[in-house]
C-alpha cells in the first residue's frame, strides 16, 4: 500500500532514547517531513509486536540497541496537501527506550543522527507532541 494518499492510517512506532542527559534524534531522509529532526522510528511490519518494531526501527535508523520500556503516548499525525487532501496519515506509538549498546549513526531512512541536550532540542522545529515528550523525559530521566 502506498503511504502517500493512503486509504487507511499506518501504525508507526517511535523511541525516546536518553543517555547522559541528551536525547537521540534523527534527521528524516524521506517524506513526510524530509530534512526535519524527529525521534527514531518507523512503521510496523505485519506480524510484528509494537515493542519489537521500535527496537528494530531504532537499530535500522541509528545503529543503537535499545530495550523498549514505558509507553509515552499514542499520537495522530495527519498531513494534508494544499488541496486539504490527506497526504499522510499515521498513528504513532512512542516508547521510552533504554540504551543497551551500539553507536549512534544514521542508517535506514535517517539522513543524520545526533545526541541533543534539552536546550538544543528546544531550538529544533519538532512536532509539538514530540517536543513535549522530549522535554518531559529530559526533565525527569528517571521517570
Q: Which residues are catalytic?
A: 112
Phi, psi of 132 (to 5 degrees): -65, -45
Neighbours of 26 (CB within 10 A): 25
Measured CA distances, 74 to 11, 92, 94, 107 (Å)? 10, 6, 6, 25
Cis bond before residue 124 (omega within 30° of 0) = no
Q: Do 98 and 67 contact (CB within 8 A), yes or no?
A: yes
SS3 33: coil
DSSP 78: E
Amino acid at each position: 500500500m502506498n503511504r502517500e494518499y493512503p486509504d487507511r492510517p499506518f501504525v508507526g512506532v517511535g523511541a525516546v532514547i536518553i543517555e547522559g542527559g541528551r536525547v537521540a534524534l534523527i534527521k528524516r531522509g524521506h517524506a513526510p517531513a524530509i530534512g526535519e529532526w524527529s525521534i527514531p522510528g518507523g512503521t510496523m511490519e505485519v506480524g510484528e509486536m509494537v515493542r519489537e518494531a521500535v527496537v528494530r526501527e531504532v537499530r535500522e535508523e541509528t545503529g543503537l540497541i535499545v530495550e523498549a520500556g514505558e509507553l509515552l503516548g499514542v499520537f495522530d499525525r495527519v498531513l494534508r496537501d494544499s488541496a486539504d487532501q490527506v497526504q499522510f496519515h499515521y498513528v504513532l506509538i512512542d516508547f521510552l527506550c533504554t540504551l543497551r549498546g551500539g553507536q549512534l549513526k544514521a542508517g535506514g531512512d535517517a539522513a543524520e543522527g545526533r545526541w541533543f541536550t534539552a536546550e538544543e532540542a528546544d531550538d529544533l522545529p519538532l512536532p509539538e507532541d514530540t517536543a513535549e515528550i522530549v522535554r518531559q523525559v529530559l526533565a525527569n530521566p528517571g521517570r
